[in-house]
């Protein structure tokens, strides 16, 4: 099909789609006028029953924990798929000879200083966000991506990294799998100790506002954080064709 | 508050359009990063700080990094192809 | 305000689609797809917004839609990675990122 024909077909379809969306959106509640009962019910259990102050994390890791488990496995599977696709390419001779030639970062001194200064604080923020998931906005998903961003900062700062020739299991992959398995194991712990898969009450409630409160929610957040950070680092490392976690001294 | 939300909604709409209409993938990548950050601001104004937090990092760091690396990969291969 | 919020969501969806159809570069297609996907975030959060309410911390009443959006933002990043890996793979096989030239240059 030629480009212009394609655009005409698309325009016709887009007009229809726009009409359908207008029709559908007309039946939605007015902006700001949401009156669903879901939130009210969740709020009634979150604080009093589970000592979790962040109702979003509470919903994600308690009420809808099975759903989150599936989301986490999408991340897990997507990371593996990306790695499999990219590794398939790397296995071919044109690239395998000089793995060190590829994308070697040429870093300006300013970037090195900023990167070195940022790496520590970013790691602390990531761990802080993961740890306080049940209390304040944050949690495993957010903290996990921040943790992965730390790896980006380190590489951007020009830390010399080495590609170990086929040494499985690499650290990020280990973290990646550990997080995914941890989530399931914590779910099974709920089945064993509290009678339902992903029931979070078995770990005790703790005091509202304390770091360790909200039952198993903090543990699930740690598992998710490891999973997400591992997944993104594995993907980025594969794109870089380097292992970001084996950091060598800069060569002068 | 409504004014802030209105401004941010318009900003997101404009930024999204710019991303979609830009031709050069590298320019699109940079615009996508900016667009991701405006989205994060909007999420914050829509009572979703949790979502804003992950959007900041995903939209501002993770996605652009992946896109840049993919573009670099393609460019490296094209240069290699030119040499031969 | 209702019109603006839902309008921007619909606009982003369509703008992303236009970008996908016009694009001559697979990586551009992936970027436009992420714009399409982000329209769903705007829509979901606009539906769940409650005027006068506080952020859902300390047991104020949330609407539930941020939870759906939250996980999806991170899932989107990894799914985009798969698409990018496919784009890189396609470039390797066909020597181009232009979807129109791909079938022709098989070799």
CATH number at residue C18: 1.10.287.3510
Other beta carbons less than 10 A from residue B1's beta carbon: 9
Q: Does C104 touch chain A (CB under 8 A)?
A: no
Taking 70 as the threshold, does the pLDDT of residue A67 lie above it? yes
Q: What is the ipTM, given to two decimal places?
A: 0.90
The pLDDT, as a whole number, for residue B81 is: 67
Residues of B in contact with A7 (CB under 8 A): none
Out of A102, A145, A236, whose CB is closest to B54? A145
Mean pLDDT of B13-35: 94
Using an 8 Å Cβ cutoff, are A130 and A138 in contact? yes
Residues of B in contact with C58 (CB under 8 A): none
A82 to chain B: nearest residue by CA? B66
Distances (CA, A) of A229 to A60, A78, A81, B61, B69: 18, 13, 16, 13, 18
The pLDDT, as a whole number, for residue C62 is: 60
φ, ψ for residue C50 (rounded to 5)?
-120, 115
Taking 80 as the threshold, does the pLDDT of residue B83 lie above it? no
Taking 80 as the threshold, does the pLDDT of residue C53 lie above it? no
Q: Does B62 touch chain A (CB under 8 A)?
A: yes
Out of B9, B21, B58, whose CB is closest to C8? B9
Using an 8 Å Cβ cutoff, are A34 and C63 in contact? yes
Which residues sit opposite A33 in a β-bridge?
A: C50
Q: Does B69 touch chain A (CB under 8 A)?
A: yes
CA gap C91, C95 in Å, rounded: 5
Question: CB A236 to CB B69 under 8 A?
Answer: yes
Question: CB A142 to CB B49 under 8 A?
Answer: no
User: Which of A6-10, A93-97, A113-117, C103-107 shows the lowest per-residue confidence on average (mean pLDDT)?
Assistant: A93-97
Question: CB A21 to CB C13 under 8 A?
Answer: yes
CA gap A212, A221 in Å, rounded: 12
Q: Does B20 touch chain A (CB under 8 A)?
A: no
Out of B29, B36, B43, whose CB is closest to C45? B43
Angle at A39 between CA A71 and CA C71, to 5 degrees: 20
CA gap C93, C102 in Å, rounded: 9
- CA nearest A35: which of C53, B56, B9, B51? C53
Out of A94, A148, A240, whose CB is closest to B69? A240
Shortest alpha-carbon distance between residue B54 and chain A (Å)? 5
CA gap A114, A123 in Å, rounded: 14
Residue C106 domain flag: no
Mean pLDDT of C12-22: 94
Give the chains touching B; criterion: ≥3 Cβ pairs < 8 Å: A, C
Question: CB B65 to CB A57 under 8 A?
Answer: no
Residues of C in contact with A18 (CB under 8 A): 10, 14
Name the 3-class secondary structure at C40: helix
Residue C107 domain flag: no
Q: Tell me which H or E stretch contains A13.
A: helix A3-26
CA gap A110, A63 in Å, rounded: 47
The pLDDT, as a whole number, for residue C66 is: 84
Classify the C-alpha dihedral A65-A235-B33-A131 as positive or negative: positive
Chain A stretch 129-158, residues whose beta carbon is closer than 8 A to a beta carbon of chain C: 135-137, 141-142, 144-145
Mean pLDDT of C32-41: 95
Q: Which domain holds residue C69?
A: 2-101
Mean predicted lDDT score pLDDT of chain B:
89
Which residues sit opposite A32 in a β-bridge?
A: C50
Taking 80 as the threshold, does the pLDDT of residue C55 lie above it? no
Question: CB B74 to CB C27 under 8 A?
Answer: yes
The pLDDT, as a whole number, for residue C43 is: 93
Other beta carbons less than 10 A from residue A162's beta carbon: 12
Place of tokens 């159809």: C21
The pLDDT, as a whole number, for residue C48 is: 84
The pLDDT, as a whole number, for residue C57 is: 60
Question: CB A78 to CB C78 under 8 A?
Answer: yes
CA gap A241, A202 in Å, rounded: 43
Question: CB A138 to CB B66 under 8 A?
Answer: no
CA gap C34, A68 in Å, rounded: 21
Taking 70 as the threshold, does the pLDDT of residue B11 lie above it? yes
Mean pLDDT of B39-56: 90
Using an 8 Å Cβ cutoff, are A25 and C10 in contact? yes
Structural domains in chain C (count): 1
Chain C stretch 50-69, residues whose beta carbon is closer than 8 A to a beta carbon of chain A: 50-52, 55-64, 66-67
Mean pLDDT of C25-46: 94
Of the pLDDT bands very low, low, confident and very high (cuts 50, 70, 90), residue A246 is: very low
The structure tokens listed for A67 are: 């759903």
CA gap A43, A101 in Å, rounded: 55
Of the pLDDT bands very low, low, confident and very high (cuts 50, 70, 90), residue B46 is: confident
Helix, strand, coil content of chain C in percent (nearest 5): 70, 0, 25
Residues of B in contact with A137 (CB under 8 A): 49-50, 52-53
Taking 50 as the threshold, does the pLDDT of residue A97 lie above it? no
Mean predicted lDDT score pLDDT of chain C:
85
- CA nearest A165: which of A70, A249, A95? A95
Residue C24 domain flag: yes
CA gap A8, B40 in Å, rounded: 35
CA gap A178, A182 in Å, rounded: 6
Q: Does B25 touch chain C (CB under 8 A)?
A: yes
* Secondary structure (DSSP) of C36-75: HHHHHHHHHHHHH-BTTPPPSBTT----SHHHHHHHHHHH
Taking 60 as the threshold, does the pLDDT of residue B84 lie above it? no
Mean pLDDT of A6-26: 93
The structure tokens listed for A65 are: 């924990």
Question: CB C74 to CB A14 under 8 A?
Answer: no
Using an 8 Å Cβ cutoff, are A150 and A123 in contact? yes
Mean pLDDT of A158-172: 60
Per residue in A179-232, pLDDT (tens digit) is 999 999 999 998 998 888 888 888 777 777 777 777 888 999 999 999 999 999
Of the pLDDT bands very low, low, confident and very high (cuts 50, 70, 90), residue A170 is: confident
Residues of A in contact with C73 (CB under 8 A): 141
List the alpha helices (DSSP H) in chain A: 3-26, 38-50, 55-58, 65-90, 93-96, 109-131, 140-156, 171-194, 217-240
The pLDDT, as a whole number, for residue B49 is: 86
Residues of A in contact with B76 (CB under 8 A): 102-103
Q: For residue C56, how many C-alpha atoms fall within 13 Å in the half-sphere facing its CB?
A: 37
Of the pLDDT bands very low, low, confident and very high (cuts 50, 70, 90), residue B25 is: very high
Sorted by sequence, the CB contacts under 8 Å of residue C41 that are 6+ apart come out as: B39, B43, B51, B55, C69, C72, C73
């Amino acid at each position: 099909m030629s480009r212009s024909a394609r655009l005409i077909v698309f325009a016709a379809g887009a007009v229809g789609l726009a009409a359908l969306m207008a029709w559908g959106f007309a039946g939605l509640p007015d902006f700001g006028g949401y009156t669903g009962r879901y939130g009210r019910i969740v709020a009634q259990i979150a604080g009093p029953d589970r000592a979790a102050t962040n109702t979003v994390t509470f919903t994600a890791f308690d009420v809808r924990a099975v759903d989150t488990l599936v989301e986490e496995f999408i991340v897990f599977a997507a990371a593996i798929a990306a790695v499999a696709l990219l590794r398939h390419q790397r296995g071919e001779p044109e690239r395998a000879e000089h793995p060190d030639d590829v994308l070697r970062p040429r870093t300006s001194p300013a970037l090195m200083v900023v990167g070195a200064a940022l790496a520590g604080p970013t790691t602390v923020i990531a761990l802080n966000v993961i740890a306080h998931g049940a209390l304040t906005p944050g949690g495993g998903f957010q903290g996990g991506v921040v943790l992965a961003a730390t790896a980006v900062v380190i590489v951007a700062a020009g830390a010399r990294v080495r590609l170990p020739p086929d040494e499985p299991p690499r650290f990020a992959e280990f973290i990646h799998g550990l997080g995914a398995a941890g989530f399931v194991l914590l779910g099974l712990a709920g089945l064993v100790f509290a009678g339902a898969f992903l029931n979070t009450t078995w770990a005790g409630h703790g005091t509202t506002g304390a770091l360790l409160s909200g039952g198993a929610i903090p543990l699930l957040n740690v598992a998710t954080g490891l999973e997400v950070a591992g997944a993104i680092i594995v993907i980025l490392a594969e794109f870089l064709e380097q292992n970001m976690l084996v950091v060598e001294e800069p060569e002068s | 508050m409504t004014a802030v939300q209105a401004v941010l909604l318009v900003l997101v709409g404009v930024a999204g359009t710019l991303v979609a209409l830009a031709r050069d993938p590298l320019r699109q990548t940079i615009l996508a990063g900016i667009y991701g950050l405006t989205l994060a601001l909007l999420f914050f104004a829509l009572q979703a700080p949790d979502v804003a937090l992950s959007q900041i990092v995903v939209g501002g760091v993770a996605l652009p990094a992946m896109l840049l690396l993919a573009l670099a990969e393609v460019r490296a291969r094209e240069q290699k192809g030119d040499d031969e | 305000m209702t019109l603006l919020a839902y309008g921007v969501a619909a606009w982003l969806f369509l703008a992303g689609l236009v970008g996908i159809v016009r694009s001559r570069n697979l990586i551009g297609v992936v970027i436009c797809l992420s714009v399409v996907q982000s329209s769903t975030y705007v829509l979901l959060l606009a539906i769940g917004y409650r005027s006068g309410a506080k952020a859902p911390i300390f047991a104020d009443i949330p609407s539930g839609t941020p939870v759906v959006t939250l996980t999806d933002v991170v899932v989107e990043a990894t799914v985009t990675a798969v698409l990018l890996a496919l784009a890189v793979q396609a470039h390797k096989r066909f020597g181009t990122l232009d979807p129109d030239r791909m079938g022709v240059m098989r070799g």
